[in-house]
Chains A and B, each alone.
Chain A
């Protein structure tokens, strides 16, 4: 019961940490079943506020104007064939800013992602040190308008690229303590944009990666936790009219504090605060602060 409880919460509060970045969102860590359940649905709402712009030369500039994003997200994961699982993530975003003296508020679908996971390192015998390991591959679909296609940044709700990724999540708990780590790499594919008002040509992204770890402590049915993750994206280059505009790499780190509560075997909730201004050596990015509330329903095996 206690092991279940800890593992359930490990990623419940970590699903939002990749959401805030330049121009409409980053690569999402998939929602995986890390406990002993058969299926889970997580609904979440998060509010994110742009705090600081960091230039490619590392100089920070505090953002004075409002630029907020509300994200409603539905994550689903289901076990099949004993150790395999599949799932998807469906975000709905509302972006709000006051660009150029005009109040803008745009809502719509974000980038949908799907994943296939496999529990390659089971923890059937509750080994004191060996973690439980789940590997995954994920596919992100560019279902949202990106900054390359719109003239109003409030309309940009996604990165704009097909992306395929692979990674792993490792979890472990000892009595009331738990720890987790995750690592993923992804590749985003070239996109052709033909918009005379923004850009006409090939938008060429590259590879990206993220690494994170965290831990927590459970008091009965309540858990407090913290996590830290680092994210890197290759430069986005633009090939247009026979010339290439070379971008700069983007990197940032996200720290998260979370408070989670399990109501019974099937229901849990989590409140988390994420801040991208506190850690790492960010470059060429937009740093945000966000608050998220998640509610999770699980079905046991």
Chain B
């Protein structure tokens, strides 16, 4: 009986050591250190126009820059993040201006093909908006898609920034 039990254990050990996983745990940059996806990068048929160096997120339709700054980064799946959004013309970065179209923000997880719950956008001043209830519903690489919406709420232009969310 003991010999058989040892045989079973040996077989199990063989099976369980075959193809063992090699976990690659790495520290990920916090969400406010982002890589920027420039407009037009994703479509080779529409080459990106020269992007002003101080305006990484640029809406071509309105020739307007958008910038965001985290005021409360999401640190775990049990809380939500917030950031401020500001619009300005390239020539006058200190002067905030309202976009002609309604701004929108959408969170998108491209690798899985799904989004998250809607954010809440509140206008705080001319060209300034506060975005709350920013919730990355699972760890991984997300796109923050900044949109200009038409009157029916459909995006007319969309540019995105890529962030990696992980729990601290």
- A→B interface (CB under 8 Å): 22-23, 52-53, 55-56, 58-65, 67, 97-101, 147-148, 151-153, 176, 196-199, 203, 214-215, 217, 219, 224, 226-228, 235-238, 241, 243, 245-248, 253, 255, 257, 277-282, 284, 286
Give which listed residue, A100, A277, A284, contacts B21 with CB less than 8 A: A277
| Chain A residues, CB < 8 A from B1 | 219
Cβ distance A229 to chain B, nearest Cβ, rounded Å: 11
Cβ distance A14 to chain B, nearest Cβ, rounded Å: 13
CB of A257 within 8 A of CB of B12, answer yes
CB of A98 within 8 A of CB of B78, answer yes
User: Which of B49-57, B61-69, B83-91, B104-112 is found at the contact surface with chain A?
Assistant: B104-112
CB of A278 within 8 A of CB of B21, answer yes
Decide: A228 near B114, CB < 8 A? Known: A60-B23, A257-B12: no
Give which listed residue, B25, B115, B139, contacts A199 with CB less than 8 A: B115
Give which listed residue, A62, A197, A228, A237, contacts B113 with CB less than 8 A: A237
CB of A100 within 8 A of CB of B153, answer no
Q: Which of chain A's residues has its CB closest to B114's CB?
A: A147
A-B contact pairs, 26 of them (CB 8 A): A22-B138, A23-B138, A56-B111, A58-B24, A59-B25, A65-B76, A65-B167, A99-B137, A100-B78, A100-B80, A100-B133, A148-B114, A217-B4, A217-B11, A219-B1, A226-B15, A237-B113, A238-B113, A241-B155, A247-B110, A248-B112, A253-B21, A279-B19, A279-B20, A281-B21, A284-B111
Number of A-B contacts (CB under 8 A): 146
CB of A224 within 8 A of CB of B21, answer no
Q: How far apart are the CA atoms of A59 and B26 in the complex, in Å?
A: 6
Cβ distance A216 to chain B, nearest Cβ, rounded Å: 8
Cβ distance B118 to chain A, nearest Cβ, rounded Å: 5
Decide: A236 near B113, CB < 8 A? Known: A56-B141, A228-B19, A241-B155: yes
Q: Which of chain A's residues has its CB closest to B8's CB?
A: A217
The 5 closest A-B pairs by CB, nearest first: A151-B117, A236-B113, A248-B111, A65-B77, A53-B139
CB of A217 within 8 A of CB of B7, answer yes
| Chain A residues, CB < 8 A from B4 | 176, 217, 219
Cβ distance A51 to chain B, nearest Cβ, rounded Å: 11
Cβ distance A255 to chain B, nearest Cβ, rounded Å: 6
CB of B139 within 8 A of CB of A100, answer no
Q: Is B95 an interface residue (CB 8 A)?
A: no
Q: Is B130 an interface residue (CB 8 A)?
A: no
CB of A147 within 8 A of CB of B112, answer yes
| Chain B residues, CB < 8 A from A60 | 23-26
CB of A53 within 8 A of CB of B21, answer no
| Chain B residues, CB < 8 A from A246 | 110
CB of B23 within 8 A of CB of A277, answer yes
Decide: A215 near B15, CB < 8 A? Known: A65-B167, A151-B117, A284-B111: yes
CB of B15 within 8 A of CB of A53, answer no
| Chain B residues, CB < 8 A from A62 | 25, 167
| Chain A residues, CB < 8 A from B166 | 53, 61
| Chain A residues, CB < 8 A from B111 | 55-56, 235, 247-248, 284
| Chain A residues, CB < 8 A from B18 | 228, 279
Q: How far apart are the CA atoms of A29 and B57 in the complex, in Å?
A: 46
Q: Which of chain B's residues has its CB closest to A154's CB?
A: B137
CB of B15 within 8 A of CB of A228, answer yes
CB of A245 within 8 A of CB of B118, answer no
CB of B25 within 8 A of CB of A61, answer yes
Q: How far apart are the CA atoms of A22 and B23 in the complex, in Å?
A: 18
Q: How far apart are the CA atoms of A63 and B155 in the complex, in Å?
A: 34
| Chain B residues, CB < 8 A from A247 | 110-113
Give which listed residue, B78, B80, B108, B139, contacts A61 with CB less than 8 A: B139
| Chain A residues, CB < 8 A from B115 | 198-199
Q: Is B151 an interface residue (CB 8 A)?
A: no
